[in-house]
Each structure stands twice: as C-alpha cells, then as structure tokens.
Amino acid sequence: MASCPILSCSAPANMTAINHGITSSFLDKVHEVTKQFFSLPMEEKRKYSREASKIEGYGNDIIFSDHQILDWTDRLYLMVNPEDQRKFTFWPKNPTDFRDILLKYAMELSLITEVILKAMAKLLNLEDTCFLEQMGEQPTMIARFNLYPPCPRPDLVLGLKPHADGSAITFVLQDKEVEGLQFLKDNQWIRVPVIPQALLINIGDQAEIMSNGIFKSPVHRVVTNSERERISLAVFSSPDSDKEIEPIGRLFNDSRPRLYKKVKNYVDTYFQYYQQGKRPIDAVRY
C-alpha cells in the first residue's frame, strides 16, 4: 500500500502531493518516455493515430464543426484500465520501455487513488470505503499525454480550453520547466507553479457527484507559450463504466438538498456535453 500522501492544498479541490510514494527517479522515467514519444518523427507517431471519430490514439481534437476552435496540443490518449480494454495497437513501441513504465505508473496511481478516496471519506466522517466502493470492481484509468508546441499567438489560442475533468480523481505530471496550467478561482485564473517531483491531484466531476458537491471539480485550462513547448501527462481515475454512482446518502438531508442524479458511464455523457461546449456535470443535476 502506498504511504499516505502529504497533501498541501493550494485551492479548494486540488492539491500538489510531494510525498506520494512514487520515487522521483521513477517520475523522471515517466517524463522521459513521454518526451521520447513526442520527439519521434511524425510518420512514426502517426502509426498510432486515432480513428476519425474515436478518441483513443494519437492526434488532436475530433472535428465537429468548421467553427470549432481547436486546442493547441498534440495528444496520445490511451485506455489503461480495465486490462481487457487496452488497445495495444495504439501504445508506442518506441521508446521500448513505454509500455512497462505506463503500466507501473498506472499501478502506483491506483494505489494512491485508494488512499485519497479513503482520506476524503474520513474528512467527511463517513465510512472509509464509501467512495471507493462506488469505483466498482474494475475502475477505469485513462492516460492522456499532452504536447503543447510553442504557439506564435498565445493571446489567441489555448493549449486546452477551460474544462473540469470527467474523472473521479486526476493526476497531472506537469512539465518540469514550463508552466501553463491555470485554475479558475473566484473568477480569476490562478497559475499552477512548476514543482519538480510533485504530482498535481485534481478532483473530477465524479467525486463532486459522489460527495454531493462538497468536493468541487474545479475549472482549469492550459495557456500556450510563444517560445517553449510544454509536456504533461494527465491520468484520469474513474469508476467502473458499469457502476452507477450517486451522492452518498449521508451527504444530503432536508437542509442540504441532493444535487446530483444517479449516473452510469459518466465519461460518455462528459464527452457529448464537452463537445457542445456545455459543462457536463449540468447534465446530471437533480
């Protein structure tokens, strides 16, 4: 079991964990394989290209309309868990240790997900496992490797448009030198500093739903940089797609109303709404 992370809150619902139980040399490896993949020649990366209407694989935003403003980013999107849903045709063979490193990283993050969900339950004086149980037998884990190339007009284009994550918990391994991620707090964008060896842990919509809005899924975005590229890896930890989730019964009563409906496979709802420019969590309000 991973040791309990030391958490320092920088905003109501995200935190940077520095004593997370993953060694810094291993995090360096994760950075390294990410960088190595994005440094491959384009024809090599294209071997892993996503299909036109599917999200998994290498590419950019799916195109829905001519008016759509695209994010200034290349990404590699991989389903890591459950195991039987891995599509290894999209997993880079180069660097050769890419697969092993991603699998090991995912295992470590599954353990940290458990620690965090238990700690969140304790904070609310609930049964330790009440959030964990809602993750179901086969929780989902998706990895999204992001490359934000230098952008000549950072005033016009974002690396990633404002959004809240559709996960329960997200882990972001940020670039070690270049900033870009910002969180919206009290109508202001707050920069996330670069903290080497830190993992940024973010509450996603599904934890907001389970906690009946007590833990909030914050809106964030990535800005572009005119000179330097930025690399990051976001891993989204979510419940089993067959598991219905809902606010814990003890978190609503006559004075605190229930805010969210029961929902299954929220990630699907999430993408439909996101692509229409709507906030997905509004689809499940009670």
Site residues, Ni ion (CB under 5 A): 165
What is the end-to-end Cα distance of the chain in Å, rounded? 37
Contacted by 173, from Ni ion, ligand OGA, none: CB < 5 to 8 Å by type: none
Asked if 165 is part of the footprint of ligand OGA (rule: CB under 6 A), the reply reads yes
Does 232 contact ligand OGA by CB under 6 A? yes
CA distance 79 to 77: 7
The amino acid that residue 4 corresponds to is C
Report the residue number, 80 or 222, with the smaller CB distance to ligand OGA: 222
DSSP summary character for residue 283? G
For the residues of 64-117, what is the DSSP string, one character each? --TTPPPPS-EEEEEEEESGGG--GGGS--SSTTHHHHHHHHHHHHHHHHHHHH
Beta strand extents in 4-69 (DSSP E only): 7-11, 14-17, 57-59
User: Can you tell me which of 71, 141, 220, 237 binds ligand OGA, judged by CB under 6 A?
Assistant: 220
Choose the contact partner of 172 out of ligand OGA, Ni ion, none; CB within 5 to 8 A by kind.
ligand OGA
- The CB density around residue 41, as the number of other CB atoms within 10 Å, is 7
Smaller CB distance to ligand OGA: residue 158 or 181? Answer: 181
- 281: contact with ligand OGA by CB under 6 A: no
Of 13, 20, 144, 248, the one binding ligand OGA by CB under 6 A:
144
Q: Which of ligand OGA, Ni ion, none does residue 146 bind (CB under 5 to 8 Å by kind)?
A: ligand OGA
Give the interface with ligand OGA as residue ranges (CB under 6 A): 144, 146, 160, 165, 172, 174, 181, 220, 222, 232, 234
